[in-house]
Amino acid sequence: MESNIFLEIIKYIKNNRKRITIIGVDNDTLDRDYDMSHIIIQNISDSTINFFWAHNDHVDNLKYHNYNSKYIENPNHKWYCGHYLRKELGDQYCIILTQAYEGINRFNGYCMSVDCETRTWQLDYFYKKFMYDPNKIYVDKNQKMQLLTKFDKKLIQFSNSFFKDRKFGNSSLDNSNDWDYVLFFNETHRLEPYSNY
């Protein structure tokens, strides 16, 4: 969220703000993804392009991980937001996941237990380098990014909290259930010069 990629998106929004309406869909309810999907459906406009920006898990047609299932209120709401959107909108909902070969990830806390039931929060962000070797086959030295329709490696995904017992501190290494494209970056960078990783 503080990469050069995100900065370019912010610049685009600022330059086109008269054409763009932003609606917050995230919330603090236990059935977060189910509720998010309903907010999106209620606000979709047929006369515009509707863009849902969130973590890969949330946009994907993906079932909750076991540790997420512990925190939902309704046991039937066991899917991420993208599942409900795909179910409601069909092929009108295009799923684009992002992935990188190497870079730096930002964290604001530590997970102290297997499913992050206990965590500590930091006053300052801290940063960790990652390089995910299975993704190297997709690196194209002639392009910084590419849009892939086929991607058969597991996705490396991060949480805002660092899992001390997992490589790269990542929260999951998953295969997507259902997606249309992967936007693949050779490398991701922080906005500012970094010293702690």
What pLDDT does residue 116 have?
A: 80
What pLDDT does residue 196 have?
A: 54
Does residue 192 fall inside a structural domain? no
Q: How many domains does the chain have?
A: 2
Assess whether 102 and 162 both reside in one domain. yes
Q: Average of pLDDT values for 158-163? A: 88
The residue out of 72, 92, 112 marking a domain boundary is: 92
Q: Is the confidence at residue 61, as pLDDT, over 80?
A: yes
Residue scoring higher pLDDT (188 or 174):
188
Assess whether 88 and 102 both reside in one domain. no
- Sequence-distant (6+) residues with CB within 8 A of 49 are none
* 127 contacts 105 by C-beta, under 8 angstroms: yes
Assess whether 111 and 165 both reside in one domain. yes
How confident is residue 173, by pLDDT bands cut at 50, 70 and 90?
confident
Assess whether 34 and 67 both reside in one domain. yes
Assess whether 103 and 76 both reside in one domain. no
Q: Is the confidence at residue 197, as pLDDT, over 60?
A: no
Other C-beta atoms closer than 10 Å to the C-beta of 66 total 9
Assess whether 11 and 88 both reside in one domain. yes
Q: Is the confidence at residue 167, as pLDDT, over 80?
A: yes
Q: Which two three-digit tokens encode residue 97?
A: 């996941």
What pLDDT does residue 118 have?
A: 85
Does residue 197 fall inside a structural domain? no
Q: Which two three-digit tokens encode residue 152?
A: 């058969």
pLDDT digits (tens, 9 = 90+) for 28-59: 788 899 999 999 999 998 898 999 999 888 99
The residue out of 92, 121, 139 marking a domain boundary is: 92
Does residue 195 fall inside a structural domain? no
Give me the helices (H) in the chain, please: 4-15, 32-43, 56-59, 66-69, 81-89
Assess whether 81 and 107 both reside in one domain. no
Q: Average of pLDDT values for 84-110? A: 93
Gap between the Cα atoms of 126 and 194, Å rounded: 10
Does residue 152 fall inside a structural domain? yes
The residue out of 75, 92, 109 marking a domain boundary is: 92
Assess whether 120 and 178 both reside in one domain. yes
Name the residue range of residue 141's domain: 96-187
Does residue 196 fall inside a structural domain? no
Gap between the Cα atoms of 174 and 83, Å rounded: 16
Highest mean pLDDT among 22-26, 108-112, 133-137, 162-166: 133-137
Q: What is the mean pLDDT of the chain?
A: 88
